[in-house]
A and B are shown apart, each in its own frame.
Chain A
Amino acid sequence: GQNIDQPTEMTATEGAIVQINCTYQTSGFNGLFWYQQHAGEAPTFLSYNVLDGLEEKGRFSSFLSRSKGYSYLLLKELQMKDSASYLCAVANAGKSTFGDGTTLTVKP
């Protein structure tokens, strides 16, 4: 079976740093994606981790620990436009299973 957990909601202040966690228990694992979805829009790709460690891409970084079934998305220097849902997705056998998403609200 597949079980992917993320916090439902988070709030942070503009300019701050926020970490969105994702834990998973899945029957198979080929990698982990993070997607961003603004309200009323389609999800867009942020990052992909297949090996343990931190992948940095500008203000966004993603971390993976396969042994712990754990990933996080780190957003630095938060901007108002970062208010969105962040979806963690586990890839296995050509299929991505999505978590329920974390709705991040950035306040001034």
Chain B
Amino acid sequence: DTAVSQTPKYLVTQMGNDKSIKCEQNLGHDTMYWYKQDSKKFLKIMFSYNNKELIINETVPNRFSPKSPDKAHLNLHINSLELGDSAVYFCASSLSTGSYNEQFFGPGTRLTVL
């Protein structure tokens, strides 16, 4: 069974469209994250949720809206897609918000905006 899963794996879309990426973890973790990894491989945190509550929002444009219907799911909706949004988006989870907790990453969603 996949611990952290994301759909879709690849997403190609036109500028201006709205798209969503879904993430699910079956590890029973309380905390989930969204990261963006650009073409230079820089992995940057976007959001973190703990038990469905937003705890980290790293000055991400408000075109990006995360939603956590329950602690096992954290979805990412992106409005009015721009060329600069092209990247790989990783979902991750950890047992709790404690800094000592390793993060388990999903396989990533490669978003290409044309």
Contact = CB atoms under 8 A, between A and B. Distances in A.
Interface of A: 30-31, 33, 37, 41-45, 48, 50, 85, 87, 91-98, 100-101, 103
Given A85-B41, A95-B56, A98-B44, A43 B90 contact: yes
Contacts, number: 58
Residue with the greatest number of chain A CB neighbours at <10 A, chosen from B50, B55, B100: B100
B99 A30 contact: yes
B52 to A, nearest CB: 16
Interface residues of B, number: 23
Nearest to A28: B99
Contacts of B44: 98
A42 B98 CA distance: 21
B45 interface: yes
A100 B43 CA distance: 7
A103 B41 CA distance: 10
